[in-house]
Structure 1
Amino acid sequence: MDTFQFHDMSLTWLKGGTTHMDGGAMFGVVPKALWEKKYPVNEKNQIELPSDPLFIQYNGQKILLEAGLGYGKFTDKQLRNYGITDQSQVEDNLAELGVLPEEIDLVIMTHLHFDHACGLTKWVDGQLISSFPNAKIYVSDVEWDEMRNPNMRSQNTYWKENWEPIENQVVTFSGSIEVVDGIEMIHTGGHSDGHSIVLFKQNDETIIHMADLMPTNAHQNPLWVLAYDDYPMTSIFEKEKWVNAALQSNYWFSFYHDAFYRLVKWSEDGKEIVDKVERTNVF
């Protein structure tokens, strides 16, 4: 498993499963001739998108950022349509680290689309139960409301199987919240109405987790937004604001879906990678 020591925070990336989604949908109106130079595409016009949760050990607490695809949550049709080639190994990875699912204290959810939230619940003896039964699960109030009452468009990604078993564990917030000292969630909207980003702050250094405002390193340009975004103009404005601030302040960028990088630090103009933590695919 890939690891990174961020001052007092120990970061470990877990195997959450992999989808292969249409490259055109993932880059919206950007022509393929441009985006395929930055991110490879297969013969089906799909790009590889891991869904790897981040396990954080900090101040005696065990924290997860995102929850992965889970296991056994998809029909054969969904496995095909989403290009799922492997499912979650989160529980096995935690066991390798000597951690039980019951020991997870907090789960930070940037939003609750299926590729982030399926791992919140699991099948045991024919029943769906919470994967992390003792954890507080943080998500914006806007996202939680839509999860439980999806509209015609969002019902394809907000599944009752992913929220009903964890309803009593959810902690919602409006605007922003400091989950623990040094970890802040900020509601942005854009990709979904309730989408949030996460800032990790330690000793004057910051990691910014842009979630699906910047699913891969190739999505750095504020105008390169997803066709899946419910509110693309909000995505553009929020991404422009946060990317500019992060570049000027020398932040690390963290990715959930990038097949090549865990963390990247760009030059102030954003044109050159000056530091990186590569994804090794070793689990």
Structure 2
Amino acid sequence: MEQLKVGTLSITWLRGGVTHMDGGAMFGVVPKPLWSKKYPVNEKNQIELRTDPLLLQWQGKNILVESGIGLGKLDDKQKRNYGVHEESDVRSSLEELSLSVEDIDIILMTHLHFDHASGLTEAVENRYKSTFPNAVIYTSVVEWNEMRDPNIRSKNTYWKENWEAVEDQVRTFSGSYEVLPGLMMHHTGGHSDGHSIITMEEGDEYLIHMADLMPTHAHANPLWVLAYDDYPMTSIYAKEKWIKDAVEKNAWFIFYHDAIYRGLKWDESYKVLDEVKRER
């Protein structure tokens, strides 16, 4: 498991599973000859997208960012359609760090699509229960409301199996919310109406998790947005704002989906200044 230490913050990428999604959908209107130069694609036109939760150990808390693809949530057809060759193994990842699911204090959910939220619950004796029973789960109020009452487009990704068992653990916010000193969630919209990003700041150090506004390093161009985005212009405006600000602050960009980089730093021309690559 890869790690990044910045100041007193330690980040470890857990094993949360993997998907292989259609490259055209992941890059929207961008022509394949352009995006395929920046991110590997297989013979089925699929790109590899990890679903690996980030474990933040900071200020005496164990914090998860996202929850993984889950275990046993997908049927054979879904596994085939989403290219899921590997499901979550978060429990054993935590055990290697001498932790358990009971030790997770906080979970930050940028949004609640199935590939982010399926790890929140698990099946036990024909019913679902919370995977992380002692955690407070934060998400935006807009996202939480749509999760429980999805529309005709979003009902395929917001599943009751992923929220009913954790309803009492969820805390919602509007705008920007400080979870811990220096640890912020910001509602951006774009990918989903309730989508949020996460920033971390300690002294001169700054980190940002853009979630599915920038699922991989190849999505750094503000105009390169997903066909899955419900509000693509909102995504573009948010990317312009947050990426520019983060680069100026010499930020670490950290990823949930990227199969190449766990985290990196860019300069203004997107030259990589520092990196943590995924071990294969």
TM value normalised by structure 1: 0.98
Shift of 1:39: 0.3
User: Counterpart of 2:219?
Assistant: 219
Residue pairs, 1:76-95, within 5 angstroms? 76-95=76-95
For the Cα contact (< 8 Å) 1:112–1:158, is it kept in 2?
yes
The SS at the match of 1:239 is: helix
Shift of 1:268: 2.2
The SS at the match of 1:161 is: helix
User: Counterpart of 2:258?
Assistant: 258
User: Counterpart of 1:205?
Assistant: 205
Residue pairs, 1:157-196, within 5 angstroms? 157-196=157-196
For the Cα contact (< 8 Å) 1:107–1:138, is it kept in 2?
yes
Q: Does 1:33 align with 2:33?
A: yes
Amino acid at match of 2:205: E
Shift of 1:57: 1.1
Q: Aligned equivalents of 1:192 and 1:95: distance in 2?
A: 33
User: Structure 1 stretches (4+) deviating beyond 4 angstroms?
Assistant: none
Deviation larger for 91-100 or 139-148? 91-100
User: Counterpart of 2:272?
Assistant: 273
Query: Which structure 2 residue ranges, 5 or more long, are not aligned?
Result: none
Deviations 1:152-184 (A, max 9, x none): 000000000000000000000000111111210
Deviations 1:239-265 (A, max 9, x none): 011111111221111111100101110
Question: Percent identity between the aligned chains?
Answer: 63
The SS at the match of 2:12 is: strand
Shift of 1:142: 0.2
Amino acid at match of 1:280: E
Amino acid at match of 2:168: N
Q: Aligned equivalents of 2:28 and 2:57: distance in 1?
A: 36
Q: Aligned equivalents of 1:276 and 1:265: distance in 2?
A: 6
Q: Aligned equivalents of 1:255 and 1:64: distance in 2?
A: 13
Aligned length, in residue pairs = 280
Deviations 1:45-75 (A, max 9, x none): 0000001100011121111000000100001
Q: Aligned equivalents of 2:248 and 2:58: distance in 1?
A: 27
Deviation larger for 169-178 or 200-209? 200-209
Q: Aligned equivalents of 2:97 and 2:273: distance in 1?
A: 31
Q: Aligned equivalents of 1:149 and 1:266: distance in 2?
A: 39
Amino acid at match of 2:187: H
Shift of 1:128: 0.6
Amino acid at match of 2:277: E
The SS at the match of 1:226 is: coil
Alignment RMSD: 0.7
Deviation larger for 120-129 or 66-75? 120-129
The SS at the match of 2:161 is: helix
Amino acid at match of 1:35: W
User: Counterpart of 2:71?
Assistant: 71
Shift of 1:99: 0.8
For the Cα contact (< 8 Å) 1:250–1:268, is it kept in 2?
no
Q: Aligned equivalents of 1:159 and 1:238: distance in 2?
A: 27
Q: Does 1:48 align with 2:48?
A: yes
Q: Aligned equivalents of 1:16 and 1:56: distance in 2?
A: 15
Q: Aligned equivalents of 1:61 and 1:37: distance in 2?
A: 40
TM value normalised by structure 2: 0.99
Query: Which structure 1 residue ranges, 5 or more long, are not aligned?
Result: none
